[in-house]
């Protein structure tokens, strides 16, 4: 195909221009003729349509933009459906962050009780999207950036036949950290990668096929700014930055409790500034405030997967996919985040021979939580939801989990019809 259609579901996200920028950079490898922008927020959609047209012209990307609030219209005929939705918006995120703090546990967007609530709101909507993809563009790939991306990928893989790539920029960060610390080309850095989204570790690093020396690894260890460098050196594993919530729980909880604003509140303020900039009819470049928003690297990862599939180009990338025996400590149908070989035939996880003993129990515990959370979200089962919180290492305590769950469910009632089926 030489005239691709790409859909962006949740196009009102401030990150949409990053994807447009990536498509401009790789326009010869991904010859896109149409980009369908879809969002339920008509105001944001209109703003983004205007800015994307100006931005694309500035970048020299000749493409037709169409904006719609009809998801099926956007999906129809698309080869790739980029999903980046946020059910409840950042207002719901703020509740996810604040309510757990009242019970003495961390409230964070994708981890712990906050990430759990995001999963309950998001999974049913993502399943609806996946079913629309099955019905209206059955050969298409869902390129998912909607968090919690690992749980979303597991739900879609188990409950639909849609093809999904669960993405996160974090999987490529070990490569960048090592490259920067050692002054080498990032493309020459390889590693084994074990775990789940936001619960993972890179190890067995090589540069151009040569294993790192201990001294080289120690130099790179300090690049994980959120986890104590001495611990990283002892583990001989490079952890995700999100491991700070597991390895420094008390410290992070205290930080959150003493912070004047949650991250969600900061993002709400930032996004107001970002969208004011996008609304300026004279602006044709990304606003500086976008750099403060975080979450960069979206387009690099998304474009890497799309290019490999479309061009049948063998590419190694970290993706959230069903395990299928790659990681022996977890069930075959469990979605893991790991190194994969990507080409037109699909996304295949690479076998992981070594399972580091210091962290496999933690990985298993969080996967136990994730599988319970997925079932709870699909079935609207409060008991399963309670068991999921009790399985999570950052909650665990029944005396905390029970009242915490009740308050979280009530606060999110309008987004959780599956849990309130018997209400008038």
Options 103, 136, 242, 246, the catalytic residue: 242
- DSSP reduced 3-state for 250: helix
Note the pLDDT tens digit of each residue in 326-350.
Answer: 999 999 999 999 999 999 999 999 9
Q: How confident is the model at residue 284 (pLDDT cuts 50, 70, 90)?
A: very high
Range of 281's domain? 4-166+265-294
Give the residue-averaged pLDDT of 393-417. Answer: 98
CA distances from 175 to 166, 238, 356, 401 (A): 19, 10, 19, 37
Residue 103 located in a structural domain: yes
User: What is the reported pLDDT for 240?
Assistant: 96
Note the pLDDT tens digit of each residue in 94-111.
Answer: 999 999 999 999 999 999
- Helix ranges (H only) for 280-297 are 290-293
CB neighbours (10 Å) of residue 206?
14
Q: How confident is the model at residue 51 (pLDDT cuts 50, 70, 90)?
A: very high
User: What is the reported pLDDT for 289?
Assistant: 85
Residue 363 located in a structural domain: no
Residue 74 located in a structural domain: yes
Record the pTM.
0.96
Asked whether the predicted pLDDT for residue 424 surpasses 70, the reply is no
User: What is the reported pLDDT for 294?
Assistant: 63
Asked whether the predicted pLDDT for residue 1 surpasses 60, the reply is no
User: What is the reported pLDDT for 2?
Assistant: 63
Asked whether the predicted pLDDT for residue 300 surpasses 60, the reply is yes
Residue 237 located in a structural domain: no
Residue 375 located in a structural domain: no
N-term to C-term CA, the chain: 51
Asked whether the predicted pLDDT for residue 374 surpasses 80, the reply is yes
Number of domains in the chain: 1
Residue 111 located in a structural domain: yes
Give the residue-averaged pLDDT of 114-124. Answer: 98
Concerning whether 193 is annotated as a catalytic residue, the answer is no
User: What is the reported pLDDT for 422?
Assistant: 80
Burial 117-147 (b: 16+ CB within 10 A, else e): bbbbbbbbbbbebbebbeebbeebbbbbbbb
User: What is the reported pLDDT for 88?
Assistant: 97
Residue 315 located in a structural domain: no
Which CATH number fits the domain that encloses residue 16? 3.40.50.720
Note the pLDDT tens digit of each residue in 160-209.
Answer: 999 999 999 999 999 999 999 999 999 899 999 999 999 999 999 999 99
Q: How confident is the model at residue 249 (pLDDT cuts 50, 70, 90)?
A: very high
**What is the average pLDDT score of the chain?**
95
Residue 354 located in a structural domain: no
CB neighbours (10 Å) of residue 383?
10
Q: What's the CA dihedral at 337, 17, 308, 139 to 10 degrees?
A: 90
User: What is the reported pLDDT for 283?
Assistant: 96
């Amino acid at each position: 195909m030489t005239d691709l259609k790409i859909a962006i579901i949740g196009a009102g996200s401030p990150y949409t221009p990053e994807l447009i920028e990536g498509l401009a950079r790789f326009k010869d490898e991904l010859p896109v003729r149409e980009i369908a922008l879809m969002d339920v927020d008509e105001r944001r959609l209109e703003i983004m349509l205007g800015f994307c047209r100006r931005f694309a012209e500035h970048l020299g990307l000749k493409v037709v933009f169409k904006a719609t609030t009809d998801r099926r219209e956007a999906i129809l005929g698309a080869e790739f459906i980029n999903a980046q939705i946020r059910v409840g918006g950042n207002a719901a995120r703020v509740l996810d962050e604040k309510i757990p703090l009242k019970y003495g546990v961390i409230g964070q967007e994708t981890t712990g009780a906050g990430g759990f609530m995001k999963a309950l709101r998001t999974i049913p909507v993502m399943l609806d999207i996946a079913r629309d993809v099955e019905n209206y563009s059955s050969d298409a790939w869902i390129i998912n950036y909607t968090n919690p991306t690992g749980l979303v990928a597991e739900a879609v893989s188990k409950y639909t036949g849609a093809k999904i790539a669960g993405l996160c920029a974090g999987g490529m960060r070990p490569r960048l950290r090592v490259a920067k610390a050692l002054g080498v080309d990032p493309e020459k850095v390889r590693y084994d990668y074990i775990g789940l989204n936001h619960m993972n570790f890179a190890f067995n690093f090589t540069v151009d096929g040569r294993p790192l020396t201990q001294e080289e690894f120690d130099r790179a260890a300090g690049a994980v700014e959120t986890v104590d460098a001495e611990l990283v050196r002892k583990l001989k594993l490079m952890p995700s930055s999100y491991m700070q919530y597991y390895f420094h729980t008390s410290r992070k909880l205290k930080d959150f409790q003493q912070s004047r604003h949650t991250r969600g509140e900061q993002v709400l303020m930032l996004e107001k500034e970002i969208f004011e900039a996008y609304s300026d009819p004279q602006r044709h470049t990304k606003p500086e405030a976008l750099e403060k928003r975080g979450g960069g690297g979206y387009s690099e990862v998304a474009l890497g997967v799309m290019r490999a599939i479309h061009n049948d180009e063998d590419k190694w990338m970290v993706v959230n996919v069903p395990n299928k025996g790659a990681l022996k400590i977890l069930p075959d149908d469990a979605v893991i985040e790991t190194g994969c070989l990507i080409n037109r035939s699909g996304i295949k996880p690479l076998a992981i021979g070594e399972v580091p003993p210091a962290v496999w129990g933690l990985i298993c515990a969080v996967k136990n939580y994730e599988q319970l959370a997925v079932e709870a979200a699909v079935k609207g089962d409060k008991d399963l939801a309670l068991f999921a919180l009790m399985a999570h290492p950052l909650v665990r305590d029944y005396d905390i989990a029970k009242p915490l769950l009740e308050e979280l469910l009530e606060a999110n009632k309008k987004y959780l019809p599956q849990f309130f089926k018997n209400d008038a």
